[in-house]
């Protein structure tokens, strides 16, 4: 634990709220900034909550100056790939321009540590089985491009300022808090395991399977699914790394192996105890056939050891949370 205060942007969202919970349990001083466009106030279990936009330089500057903030964890972003294809400027405005404003505020305030929520989507479509941090960066959708532009800004800023950073490139984040206190509550979510859990609990009529003709073993897309609590631990270890003087770096965050959409559906059916309805559709624009992380670097740099590398467990925590949401709606 440190006496420094941490600013968490997007801390009321799915991933941000899980990191806030873990940091709060450790006794860290937190300020959580979120505009609640997709986040939920009741998901913020620790810290001071401030409603507002990450791109509001007056607000962010005031928070940084008055709360003695030395570390920033930046999650605030739009994250839906198909939407980014349909509305690219929405993604460049929120994900890239607002990050630019946040970075300016951080430099002006003398922030020392910055952890950025990036994505494996920036690798695009590649031949390699597992993508390392040195793989070519060739995003095929505006979401990935918006994140790559933010990465570039952060690296350029860190090169000429004392600010040190860790960029974490997430692969497919899934699951919910095993304690059942928070979870993935986003409306109209597109994440496969979340949607499958909604089908299993009757919130949706069926699961849409996009693409059955990919060059993969069963024709469906393959992804590296990482439990959200393991991702939270990676952020905590990244923060400790920076506090101990670690140099700026970029790290993949995944398990190093993947599951196809059909394999995920089979696991959901097994954990659920009954099959869910599935409707097959053509491929969606902007979806690569396969995304799997090479994870040697994060394991070596942070000594990160995932605790929940088990697809059935990931699915179970998702289903448990979905059942809790359904029960709350019926009450």
The encoded tokens of residue 71 equal 């570390």
**Spatial distance between the Cα atoms of 74 and 71, rounded to a whole number of angstroms:** 10
Integer angstrom CA distances of residue 61 from 58, 64, 67, 106, 322: 5, 5, 10, 8, 38
| Cβ neighbours of residue 89 closer than 8 Å, sequence gap 6 or more | none
**Spatial distance between the Cα atoms of 5 and 48, rounded to a whole number of angstroms:** 10
Single out the residue of 226, 96, 72, 78 nearest to residue 148, CA to CA. 96
**Spatial distance between the Cα atoms of 151 and 118, rounded to a whole number of angstroms:** 8
**Catalytic site residues?**
143
CB burial of residue 27 (10 Å; 0-12, 13-18, 19+): exposed
Per the CB < 8 A criterion, the answer to whether 74 and 128 are in contact is: no
- Residue written as token pair 């095929």: 140
User: What are the b/e assignments for 244-265, b being 16+ CB within 10 Å?
Assistant: eebebbbbbbbbbebbbbbbbb
| Strand blocks (E) in 55-120 | 69-74, 113-119
**Spatial distance between the Cα atoms of 226 and 256, rounded to a whole number of angstroms:** 9
């Amino acid at each position: 634990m440190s006496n420094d205060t941490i600013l968490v942007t997007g801390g009321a969202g799915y991933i941000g709220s899980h990191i806030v919970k873990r940091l709060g349990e450790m006794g860290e001083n937190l300020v959580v900034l979120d505009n609640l466009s997709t986040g939920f106030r009741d998901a913020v279990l620790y810290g001071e909550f401030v409603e507002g936009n990450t791109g509001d330089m007056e607000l962010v500057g005031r928070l940084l100056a008055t709360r003695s903030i030395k570390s920033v964890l930046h999650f605030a972003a739009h994250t839906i790939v198909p939407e980014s294809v349909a509305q690219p400027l929405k993604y460049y405005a929120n994900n890239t321009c607002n990050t630019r404003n946040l970075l300016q505020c951080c430099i002006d305030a003398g922030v020392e540590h910055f952890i950025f929520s990036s994505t494996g989507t920036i690798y695009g479509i590649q031949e390699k089985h597992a993508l390392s941090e040195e793989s070519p960066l060739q995003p095929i959708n505006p979401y990935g491009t918006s994140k790559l532009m933010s990465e570039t800004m952060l690296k350029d800023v860190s090169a000429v300022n004392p600010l040190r950073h860790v960029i974490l490139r997430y692969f497919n984040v899934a699951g919910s808090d095993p304690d059942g206190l928070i979870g993935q509550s986003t409306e109209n979510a597109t994440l496969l395991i979340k949607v499958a859990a909604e089908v299993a609990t009757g919130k949706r009529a069926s699961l849409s399977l996009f693409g059955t003709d990919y060059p993969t073993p069963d024709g469906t897309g393959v992804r590296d699914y990482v439990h959200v609590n393991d991702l939270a631990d990676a952020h905590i270890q990244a923060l400790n790394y920076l506090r101990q003087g670690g140099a700026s770096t970029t790290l993949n965050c995944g398990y190093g192996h993947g599951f196809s959409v059909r394999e995920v559906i089979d696991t959901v059916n097994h954990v659920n105890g009954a099959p869910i309805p599935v409707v097959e559709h053509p491929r969606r624009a902007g979806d690569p056939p396969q995304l799997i992380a090479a994870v040697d670097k994060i394991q070596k740099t942070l000594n990160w050891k995932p605790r929940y590398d088990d697809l059935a467990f990931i699915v179970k925590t998702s289903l448990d949370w979905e059942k809790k949401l359904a029960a709350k709606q019926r009450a």
